Amino acid sequence: MKLWKKSLTAVALLGLVAGLTACGGGSDAEKSKESTAADGDVELKVTTWNYDTTPEFEKLFRAFEEANPGITVTPVDIASDDYDTKLTTMLSSGDTTDILTMKNLLSYSNYALRDQLLDLTDHIKDIDIDPAAASYEMYEVDGKTYAQPYRTDFWVLYYNKKMFDDAGIDYPDNLTWDEYEEIAKKLSKPDEQVYGAYQHTWRSTIQAIAAAQNDGDLLDPSYGYMTDYYDRALRMQDAKAQMDFGTAKSTKVTYQSQFENSKTAMMYMGTWYMGGLLTNKDEGKTDVEWGIAQIPQKEAGKAIDTFGSPTAFAVNKNSKHQDAAQKFLDFCSGEEGAKVLAEVGVVPSYKTEAIDDLYFSREGMPSDDVSKTAFTPENVAIEFPVDKNGPAIDKILQEEHDLILVNDETPKEGIKNMEKRVKTETE
């Protein structure tokens, strides 16, 4: 698998780096005020999102505590939709939460460039990162690394086996987008609020996959390749083959409820969802029979193109327990953490053949040939490239995305506005 088609570009960040000034004197090690066993137990606080429905956090925290007596791990939980905004505010106010979960590369680069994260560059030279080397490359900013990836996700197509069986339709296998659209129409029962497909409200469900499958760059204001993807989404809404975007947005529908309550037959989503789905099955919260297939493609028989991004832990420069925090990062991003993640159905960044075997041996995990093929796509493009103008571009693209899908703009108008606004932002 060619894991990443587009890497983090440090050159684009040089202007911001040059403008930053260091805060205070002394080395990071000198600033650390580490509590030791002699002083009492250490409590590490870690930012998380949706802790109760994201099983990897609980599993990693308890496994680390077992391996490190005297250290406890406490979540600082934040609602997923508010996570980056809240974390930015916390850091700006000097918050001392020890470990910060880097939900995406865009926010990570901002924290790194603001000198809010501990520099881990020298440390990672002394640990085994080869099985996760491709993911570590994504965290290089001007030759330095400020986080350690523990999870690497990409997008696949989830499907409801019973809904396909009841309709007498073969399970998905390397569908084209045209086939996906036709199957969704056949499986929809709009009078029962059941749809053949569910497309979540994030702009990535159209923009990131369009860029990945057309060698596009979301930083480059030339977005014509998105047209077919928006046209399809609007057709499917009009045909009631998928839930209307405005309804999903206004009622804050969750993708978990749609899939786990058998309200949709197909849904493309990140591999991170497998862990939560397996846990909910184990706990009797859903009885959905599911599988995964390759995300739909422009043409059948071609290389499988999808998108994704890694997730990492970083150490807050204001942490008073930096040594213990570093132990936590090493545990979660290394082989021990990878085993914990694989056992709950989460794709670890640290990947070996043995870890992959453990992942698919988990009870409830689909292990057919199509699922395993979906798990090894040829090309995984970065969900959103990193750039100093990234936050502003991201905001523009989301705004225009929403306007198109509620029919306030045509795709042609919306894409034209994206291009104009992004060009103005970056000039």
For residue 241, pLDDT over 90 is answered with yes
- Angle between helices 390-405 and 105-113 in degrees, nearest 10: 150
Q: Note the pLDDT of residue 42.
A: 96
Q: What is the 3-state secondary structure (H, E, C) of 332-358?
A: HHCHHHHHHHHHCCCCECCCCHHHHHH
Say yes or no: 67 and 93 in one domain. Answer: yes
For 69-96, what is the mean pLDDT? 95
For residue 5, pLDDT over 80 is answered with no
Read off the pLDDT band of 356 (50, 70, 90). Answer: confident
For residue 6, pLDDT over 50 is answered with no
For residue 19, pLDDT over 60 is answered with no
Read off the pLDDT band of 285 (50, 70, 90). Answer: very high
**Cα 280 to Cα 286: distance, rounded to the nearest angstrom:** 6
For residue 375, pLDDT over 50 is answered with yes
Read off the pLDDT band of 142 (50, 70, 90). Answer: confident
Q: Note the pLDDT of residue 13.
A: 36
Say yes or no: 299 and 336 in one domain. Answer: no
Q: Note the pLDDT of residue 10.
A: 36
Q: Which helix (H) or strand (E) holds 88?
A: helix 83-92
Q: Note the pLDDT of residue 378.
A: 86
Say yes or no: 124 and 255 in one domain. Answer: no
Q: What is the 3-state secondary structure (H, E, C) of 15-63?
A: HHHHHCCCCCCCCHHHHCCCCCHHHCCEEEEEEEECHHHCHHHHHHHHH
Say yes or no: 412 and 394 in one domain. Answer: yes
pLDDT tens readout for residues 289-339 = 999 999 999 998 888 899 998 999 999 999 999 999 999 999 999 999 999
For residue 395, pLDDT over 60 is answered with yes
pLDDT tens readout for residues 210-237 = 999 999 999 999 999 999 999 999 999 9
Token reading at 295: 């995300």
Q: Note the pLDDT of residue 40.
A: 52
Report the chain's terminal Cα–Cα distance, integer Å: 36
Say yes or no: 168 and 58 in one domain. Answer: no
Q: Note the pLDDT of residue 199.
A: 97
Specify if 108 maps to a domain.
yes
For 344-358, what is the mean pLDDT? 90
Specify if 81 maps to a domain.
yes
The most confident of the ranges 100-109, 202-211, 266-275 is 202-211
- Three-state DSSP state, 4: coil
Q: Is 131 in contact with 334 (CB distance < 8 Å)? A: no
Q: Is 99 in contact with 315 (CB distance < 8 Å)? A: yes
Number of domains in the chain: 2
Say yes or no: 266 and 405 in one domain. Answer: yes
Lowest mean pLDDT among 38-47, 165-174, 412-421: 38-47
The DSSP bridge partners found for residue 270 are 155
- Structural domain boundaries, residue 314: 42-153+309-370
For residue 16, pLDDT over 60 is answered with no
Specify if 342 maps to a domain.
yes
Q: Note the pLDDT of residue 46.
A: 98
Lowest mean pLDDT among 126-130, 159-163, 337-341, 382-386: 382-386
Say yes or no: 329 and 193 in one domain. Answer: no
Buried b (16+ CB within 10 A) or exposed e, 233-243: bbebbeebbbb
Say yes or no: 272 and 169 in one domain. Answer: yes
For residue 98, pLDDT over 60 is answered with yes
Percent of the chain at pLDDT > 90 equals 71
For 303, phi then psi, to 5°, come to -60, 145
pLDDT tens readout for residues 35-72 = 443 345 999 999 999 898 888 999 999 999 999 999 99
Say yes or no: 103 and 191 in one domain. Answer: no
Q: Which long-range contacts (CB under 8 A, 24 or more apart) does 348-351 make?
A: 348/132, 348/150, 348/151, 348/152, 349/132, 349/135, 349/136, 349/149, 349/150, 349/151, 349/152, 349/310, 349/312, 350/131, 350/132, 350/150, 351/131, 351/132, 351/152
**Cα 265 to Cα 187: distance, rounded to the nearest angstrom:** 7
For residue 33, pLDDT over 50 is answered with no
For 397-418, what is the mean pLDDT? 98
Mean pLDDT value across the chain: 89
Say yes or no: 207 and 339 in one domain. Answer: no
Q: Note the pLDDT of residue 52.
A: 87
Specify if 129 maps to a domain.
yes
**Cα 156 to Cα 111: distance, rounded to the nearest angstrom:** 29
Read off the pLDDT band of 109 (50, 70, 90). Answer: confident
Q: Note the pLDDT of residue 26.
A: 41
> Residue 374 to residues 134, 365, 407: CA-CA distances in angstroms?
19, 13, 33
Give me the helices (H) in 157-272, please: 161-167, 177-187, 207-213, 227-238, 245-250, 255-260
Q: Note the pLDDT of residue 333.
A: 97
